[in-house]
Structure 1
Amino acid sequence: MNGGVTSLERAGRGMAIATLASRAAGFLRIVVLAAALGLGTRLLDSYNVANTLPNAVYELVVGGAMASVVVPLLTRAALTEPDDGVVYAQRLLSLMVYGLSAVTVVAVFAAPLLVDLYTPGFTAEQRDLAVVFSRYFLPQILFYGVSATAGAVLNIRGRFAAPMWAPLCNSLVVIAVGLTYLAIGGSTGIAGLTTGQLTLLAVGTTAGVFAQLTLVVWALARSGFPVRLRLDPRGIAIRRIGRLGGWVLISVVAAQVLLAVATRSASLSGPGGITAYQNAYAVFQVPFAVIALSVMTAMLPRLSRSAARLDHARVIRDLSLAVRVAAVTMAPIAVAMMVLGGQIAILLFGHGRSAAATVSLLGLVVAAFGLALVPFTGYMILQRGFYALQDTKTPALIAAGVAAIGVAGCLGAAWLLPSADIVVGIPLAYAAAYTVGLITTALVLRRRLGRIDGNRLVRTHLRILVAATVGAGCAAVTVQAVAPLVPPGWAGSPVTIAVAALAGGLGYVAAGRLLHLTELRHLVATALHSVRGG
């Protein structure tokens, strides 16, 4: 038994390392492309929009249903079919190839319409280039679908490494493309872009996704699974997949509508607006992906077991603890984003061919996204309470409401703010939407479970707010004190960030201890446990 536990722990740590490495490489990819194509250029905006389209279409068609519907069906087939679900998996892979091939062809023909949907603020030159890029990128829809399905089959067969490491392979290919483009002196302007440079960017980017697909399919074949297409993919309960994925689809559609409206609004901010929004959103996602997502992944099986036993008291206790610990962890990171947003932007993007004005704008957007980090994290954790209760309808409806508020906020920013400030209003819309989503989710869960430890949650969040305010004050004062002592720009930003983060962190912890913020002790104990490998 102990050996089994050790094996699971090792697998879990391996997956965590792979996830962290893939996230880091994905972020490095963003930095390299910004340096190569020029942060703030119309070229990078066109590239980024075109590269968003295959992900958006894939998520709408199948991505949202993959984990919640397809994986459980594969698991059931592996347990109930006499061939361990091999034929079922082959038919599912075949369906993905045939169906997504058709979707890809339609998307390629519809590329101008898709680009127009996201970019009302583009010039004709930008729009034409985005259409060209998108026609190279949209075949990624097929690659993502087959890679995800093959990865799911591998996971069912107990093989986790390749699906976790495959995104790293993708990012490394694109990083190499960006560095090559930089080395050959590729243009940062659309007019100066040669056919060879365009082909390098377009083919190289899609080659990264194809490399991801190749690694996963190769690993699937190596596992002993007979990789083959079946001419007749029927017999996999397509209607059941559609029925089960219905509510999940609503959540996905809501998220994609918000993404589209936010991107449209950012395009109205002029050159660099879309890139500032997307790169700031990437910064915003890093702490959530590395910290909060790990908390949610670890807690969902335990929540599901407690819910299955109708042990609602334990469900409430676990949800409350997860929200409180996540809030204690995320609050100082949110403060760092708000106080040090400009310095973070300079450190990550203030080099290469980046425009200083766009770097400054990016810093403001990062700071504004700091306001959304804590409510977004709490909202996402509480949503797991519904999933543990096997309720996908309620979180889907709440997600639709959150998206509606976010869309209204983005449209309001585009309508009310000067064009240069529209992109700064987008994260404020996100913050408002996720705050309402958090409160709504808590109230609905309280009605479902009877209580959700609300008084303790409110007290803890008030203490966190006070401690975070003290930390923010310490960090802000430190930034002002350090400014005359360090060189301006990229050379001084690491020192400023390090010293201000240290001062802000000490102020936050000291205030938290004085306020008896007990979740800080739990956080430290968990960190020490992880470091010791316990």
Structure 2
Amino acid sequence: MRTGQAMATATLVSRVTGFVRVLTLVAALGLGTRLLDAYTVANVTPNSIYELVMGGALASVIVPLLIRTAADENTDDELFAQRLLSLIVYALAVVVIVTIIAAPLLMDLYASGFTPEQRRTAIVFTRFFLPQILFYGVSAALAAILNARDRFVSPMWAPVANNLVVITTALVFVVIGGTGRLETLTQAQTLLLSIGTSAGVAVQMLVLIVAGRRAGFRVRLRADPRGIGIRRIGVMAGWTVLSVIAAQAVFVVITDLASQAGPGAVSVYSNAYTLFQLPYAVIAVTIITGVLPMMSRSAAGRDFPRVTADLSRSLRLSSTVLVPVAAGLVVLGPQLATVLFAHGNASPEAARLTGSVLAAYGLALVPFAGYQIMLRVFYAFGDTRTPALISTGVSAVTIATCLVAARLTPGPDLVIAIAGCTALAYATGLVVTAAVLRRRIGLLDGHRLLDAHARMLVAATVAGLTAAVTVRSLQSAVGTAWTGSAVTVLLAAAAGAGLYALGARGLRIAEFGELTAMIRTGRA
């Protein structure tokens, strides 16, 4: 948390450039087109496979394990990290080879609603994108090694390089005559998109290799990765794999349902989810990244009051920003989507649908962030079983409600219903996680949390209603096209943000004052 401002800045730049990447791809490939759907499914496939085989373990197990290893004077922590990295490289190289061969089967699993031409194009993209699994694994391991050494900022800047490479690729695609029409895609354009996208992830990995060397860690593959407690890591990660499998089941179901909801529905849902993740990543992920090493040290010393204090502060500080942002997404979702996505080859109808999905996701923002922050407490104690069981239950709720929604909501509106289903599942996960965590560590500072969140909710509700009135008043005057939507977003957001700030001070929301002081002084 001592480097909280620098971390937030790096995350913000990373996520903003990432969103610029999304906007550039939308403008180049066309929101609502079959080409962007094929590219989107192919591009998320390596991410989902990486998460399935290793991502969850790296996120929940490796950082606490590296911290405990560094505290052991009898262990060479650099040799341990090198052997761990070697194991990751060897395992993921095998996964890449197998999945490249199985690419057609993967595409049938993820997008059964694709046309034959879409399927062929998506398979080509997927085979070029699958080496990203190895790049992601190495990058995540290096980021964990840096975090264990209290180097939090460098890993957050690395994705910026990835984003810049992909943005350049999309711009070159437009310059050489690329369009959003799948039938006009040439072999050269396909190779440009395929190689350029994977090159971005490779550059991200190289940036982290350089950052590791500057932190004193030498990237060196060991022929024999034994000696790091592989069996112990496997036991710890085993439960995490269960939760990741459940999450991937959610991904498969949602992607397949979206592929059947109409042309462009997959990319509509994906882009709305990306925008929903932006405030979570800038605020909550920054806090999670900074707090996890501290929680791990407190947990190792069985200092439950300190763990509770860190958890309470994390939840309150993140909600101070996320509660009004969630209100803004609910009120301004359609206008935001028009401003951001209605460019180039994008369909105006697809942009409006994206806004409706985004508004539904606004309901999920605060429960999702709180749920994710609380899960980290279990990881700090080295407990992967409990969060795995909870997240599996959340995934089951998501799948069940989405399948019901698919029967009740036909056509493109299904993607809106899916976003609502995920909000319900995250809210359920938040309540269950809080109850289980209270039994584990005792009091959760519940009265203070409830009081702070009640005050935030009142201030955000008044601000949101003000923004909604502003939207209704302006729409008839400025219209709903790009220019009118931009004016509406600026004025409504300014009115809502100003009123929230006044309400926060009037209601004496202490966290708001603490957060503004942190921003002014640069200390957390």
Q: Report the counterpart of residue 170 of structure 1 in structure 2.
A: 162
Code of the aligned partner of 1:216: L
* Correspondence 1:391-402 to 2 at 5 A: 391-402=383-394
Distance in 1, matches of 2:6 and 2:462, equals 37
Q: Report the counterpart of residue 324 of structure 2 in structure 1.
A: 332
Mapped pair 1:530 → 2:512: no
Shift of 1:298: 4.0
Distance in 1, matches of 2:79 and 2:453, equals 51
Partner of residue 234 from structure 1, selected from 220, 223, 226: 226
Q: Report the counterpart of residue 106 of structure 2 in structure 1.
A: 114
Moved more, 247-256 or 43-52: 247-256
Q: Report the counterpart of residue 275 of structure 1 in structure 2.
A: 267
Partner of residue 291 from structure 1, selected from 252, 275, 283: 283
Change over 3 Å in CA distance of 1:74–1:443 after alignment to 2: closer
Aligned 8 A contact 2:32 2:264 in 1: yes
Distance in 1, matches of 2:459 and 2:215, equals 51
Q: Report the counterpart of residue 491 of structure 1 in structure 2.
A: 483
Shift of 1:418: 1.1
Code of the aligned partner of 1:398: I
Mapped pair 1:430 → 2:422: yes
Q: Secondary structure at the match of 2:345?
A: coil
Shift of 1:205: 0.6
Change over 3 Å in CA distance of 1:171–1:492 after alignment to 2: same
Shift of 1:255: 2.1
Q: Secondary structure at the match of 1:113?
A: helix
Q: Report the counterpart of residue 266 of structure 1 in structure 2.
A: 258
Shift of 1:485: 3.4
Partner of residue 194 from structure 2, selected from 187, 192, 202: 202
Residue identity over aligned pairs, in percent, reads: 52
Q: Report the counterpart of residue 374 of structure 1 in structure 2.
A: 366
Code of the aligned partner of 2:132: Q
Distance in 2, matches of 1:87 and 1:507, equals 54
Aligned 8 A contact 1:344 1:363 in 2: yes
Distance in 2, matches of 1:278 and 1:351, equals 17
Change over 3 Å in CA distance of 1:137–1:395 after alignment to 2: same
Q: Report the counterpart of residue 184 of structure 1 in structure 2.
A: 176
Change over 3 Å in CA distance of 1:89–1:394 after alignment to 2: closer
Distance in 2, matches of 1:79 and 1:43, equals 51
Partner of residue 252 from structure 1, selected from 219, 244, 248: 244
Q: Which has the higher contact order (CA 8 A, sep 6+)?
A: 2
Code of the aligned partner of 2:467: A
Distance in 1, matches of 2:84 and 2:298, equals 32
* Correspondence 1:413-452 to 2 at 5 A: 413-452=405-444
Aligned 8 A contact 1:268 1:414 in 2: no
Change over 3 Å in CA distance of 1:163–1:511 after alignment to 2: closer
Q: Report the counterpart of residue 62 of structure 1 in structure 2.
A: 54
Distance in 2, matches of 1:459 and 1:151, equals 36
Q: Secondary structure at the match of 2:84?
A: helix
Distance in 2, matches of 1:203 and 1:302, equals 40
Distance in 1, matches of 2:287 and 2:309, equals 14
Distance in 1, matches of 2:347 and 2:174, equals 16
Deviation readout 1:344-369 (Å, 9 max, x if unpaired): 00111111110011001101000000
Q: Report the counterpart of residue 119 of structure 2 in structure 1.
A: 127
Shift of 1:92: 2.9
Change over 3 Å in CA distance of 1:343–1:387 after alignment to 2: same
Aligned 8 A contact 1:268 1:422 in 2: no
Distance in 1, matches of 2:122 and 2:387, equals 35
Q: Report the counterpart of residue 137 of structure 2 in structure 1.
A: 145
Aligned 8 A contact 2:61 2:382 in 1: no
CA RMSD of aligned residues (A): 2.7
Distance in 2, matches of 1:419 and 1:372, equals 23
Shift of 1:492: 2.4
Distance in 1, matches of 2:92 and 2:294, equals 35
Shift of 1:331: 1.8
Change over 3 Å in CA distance of 1:433–1:227 after alignment to 2: closer
Shift of 1:501: 1.3
Code of the aligned partner of 1:484: S
Code of the aligned partner of 1:483: Q
Distance in 1, matches of 2:379 and 2:138, equals 26
Change over 3 Å in CA distance of 1:77–1:453 after alignment to 2: closer
Q: Report the counterpart of residue 311 of structure 2 in structure 1.
A: 319
Shift of 1:481: 1.4
Distance in 2, matches of 1:349 and 1:16, equals 25
Q: Report the counterpart of residue 474 of structure 1 in structure 2.
A: 466
Deviation readout 1:251-285 (Å, 9 max, x if unpaired): 32222222222212211211111111111111111
Q: Report the counterpart of residue 5 of structure 1 in structure 2.
A: none
Shift of 1:467: 3.4
Code of the aligned partner of 1:411: L
Distance in 2, matches of 1:78 and 1:511, equals 46
Q: Report the counterpart of residue 357 of structure 1 in structure 2.
A: 349
Shift of 1:430: 0.8
Change over 3 Å in CA distance of 1:301–1:418 after alignment to 2: same
**TM-score normalised to structure 2 length:** 0.91
Shift of 1:156: 5.2
* Correspondence 1:17-32 to 2 at 5 A: 17-32=9-24
Code of the aligned partner of 1:493: S
Q: Secondary structure at the match of 1:491?
A: helix
Q: Secondary structure at the match of 1:379?
A: helix
Distance in 2, matches of 1:325 and 1:222, equals 32
Q: Secondary structure at the match of 2:184?
A: coil
Shift of 1:120: 2.1
Code of the aligned partner of 1:486: V
Shift of 1:330: 1.6
Q: Secondary structure at the match of 1:391?
A: coil
Shift of 1:227: 4.2
Q: Report the counterpart of residue 39 of structure 2 in structure 1.
A: 47
Q: Secondary structure at the match of 1:428?
A: helix
Shift of 1:170: 0.9
Code of the aligned partner of 1:410: C
The runs of 5 or more residues in structure 1 that have no matched partner are 1-7
Aligned pair count reads 523
Code of the aligned partner of 1:247: W
Moved more, 24-33 or 215-224: 215-224
Mapped pair 1:343 → 2:338: no
